[in-house]
Structure 1
Amino acid sequence: MQAYPPKKRYYPLWWLLLAVSRLPFPLLYLLSDFLCLILYRFIGYRKKVVRLNLQRSFPEKTAAEIVSIIPAFYQNFCDVIVETLKLATVTKAEMRRRTSMPDSEQFAHAASAGPVIILGSHQANWEWALSASSVQYSFQIDGVYKVLNNEFFEWFMLRTRTRFGQHLVNMKDTLKDMIRRKNILRAISMLSDQTPPRGEIQYWTTFLNQDTAFYVGADKLAATFKYPVFFVECVRVKRGFYEYRISQLWDGKTAFENEAFPITERYARRLEKSIQENPAAYLWSHKRWKHAKPAASEMAAVQ
C-alpha cells in the first residue's frame, strides 16, 4: 500500500484526516459529540430509518423506550466514525490497551491449528476488530470486504485496515483466495449481517421479529473447507474500550441434521440475542430490511 493517495488532488483531504487522527482521544470524543449534535439534532441523518427499524425490531418496547435508544445509537455511530479515523495513526500498544478478547482460548487454539472463519456484525466498533485481533494474536488475520466506489476512501480504508499486517480480500474473490491460501494459519473474518442483493437471496429467517434475508457464504465455505466457524460479539466496556467476545458456532466436524443453512441460522440467533441485550450499539441507520420476503408460491417457483 503506497504511503500517499493515488492522485495528488486527494493530498489535502489525506492531510486533514491525518491531522484529525493524531488528536488525542479526549479531543476526538469532543469532535464525536459535535458530529452527533449535527447528525442527530440538526440534519436528522436517516432518523426515520433508525426509528422504524427500532420499532419493528422491538415491538414490545414503549414509544419512550424507543426514543431513549435513538440518541445513544447516534453517539455510538459518531464514536465509530472518529475511532475509524484514529486507525490511521494509532499505535499497536494503544490498540492492545483499548481492546481485549476474553475467554477466546478455544478460538486461538483452533486458529493455531488451521484456518478458521469468524463472523462479525456492524455492532459497537466493528472497524477495530481486525486491528484488535492482529495485535492480540500471532496468526494471520484476514478480512472479507466490499470494494468502495470512491477511489480515495477505498485507498484510505485499505491503508487503515491493514496497518498491523491484516490482509483484505475482495468479497468477489473469497473462494479463489481460500483455495489459493488454504494452507495459511489464519482467521478469515466476515461481516455477515449485510443485506444480500435481491437476486442473490437464498435464505430467510425471522430476525428481530422480521423476515430477514442473510448471506449464506459462511455455510458454503465451511461445508467446502471444513473450517471451524466462530461468532464475535463487540461490547463497549466504556468509551474507547472494547471487548471482542468470541464463541464457536461450528467445530468443523459435527454433522448437521437436514438443516438448510445451519451456521447462518446459529449466527442470526447469537447476533439477535446480543442486539437485544444492547440495542444502541447496532447500526440502525442501515436499510437492513429493504427487501420483502416473497410469498411461498413465488419461492417455490424459483426453486
Structure 2
Amino acid sequence: MNIDTRIKFRHLVCFLEVARQGSLARAADQLAVSQPAISKTLKELETLLGTSLFERSKSGARLSEAGVAFMRYAGPSVQALREGVSSLRAGEYSAATLRLGVLSTVESLLVPEVVRRLHARHPALVASVVTGPSAHLLAQLHLGELDLVVGRMTDSPQIQGLTFEHLYSESMTLVVRAGHPLLDGVALRERLQAYPLVVPLAGTTIRKYADALFVQCGISPPRQRLETLSITLSRRYVQSSDALWIAPLDAVQLDLRSGELAELDLGVVEPGGSVGICRNTAVPLSLAAHGCVEVLREVGLAYRTGSFPE
C-alpha cells in the first residue's frame, strides 16, 4: 500500500513529542505551539491512519498498542531525515554518533566485538561508550542521554518504563590465578574464607547473582573483599594475588582459555542472568543506534550457538 501523501513531517514530529513527553500540554511547550494545535495535528494523523495512537486520561497521554507499533517506524524515519539534513550541512563525511551504556558484564567480550563490526561497516562512526552501574545508566536512558544500554539489568527498579530485549544468558563463575593453592581441590569450600574475594558493588544487579553462588553452596563469603565493577582492576588484582573472583563468564572467558585464570569447581552452576538490550521507546533511535541493535543481535546469536568467541 502506498504511503498517504497527506501525512506530513509535522504530524510525525507532533506524534513523537507527545510520546516522549506523555502529555499534550508538555509537547506543546516543547514545540512552541498551542495545545489545541497539538491536539488538531494529532487528530489529523490518527484520522489518516485510521486508529488511535494514544490513550488519553487526566494524567496525560500514553501510547496505545497501535501507537507503540507506529513508533517503531515513525521514530527512525524522522531521525533518519534529521541526520540526513545534518550530514549535508556538516559535510559528506560527518560522523554519526552512537551513545551506548555498557554494564561490566559485557565490556570485555561482547561490546568490543560489536564495535569492531560496526566500524567495519560504517566509515564515519563515533561510538561513545559509558560504563557504570545499571541504575545510573538506565537513569541516563530515561532522560534520552543514551541510545541503548547493554548488559544484565532485568532486576533493576530503574528498568520500569523501558523495553528489554534478551540476547543470551550468562552465568557467574569463581576464578583464581593459575597455580592458586585452592586448585588442588582439597577441602575447597572449607578453605575459601582464607582468601580475599572480589565481587561486584553492593546493590547492583550482578551482585545479587554473585551472592547467590555462595548461598547455593551454603557457605559464608570471606570477610576480606574488594567490591568493584571494574573488570580491569578485578583481573589485575586476582592475577597478582591469591584473591578469588566471582566474575561474569564473559569477563574471564578468554583468560580461562589462555590459562591465565582457572575456575574453581564448587559443584554448583549459577543458572545465569539475561544479557540484553534496553531502550527508551519514547525516544527515536538514531540510524547508528539501529545499526548497533542489529549487530548486537548478530553477536548474541553467535554467542548462543557457540560460534563466538572463536
Task: Please indicate the TM-score interval, normalised by the length of the shorter structure.
Answer: under 0.3
Query: TM-score, normalization: structure 1?
Result: 0.24
Query: TM-score, normalization: structure 2?
Result: 0.23
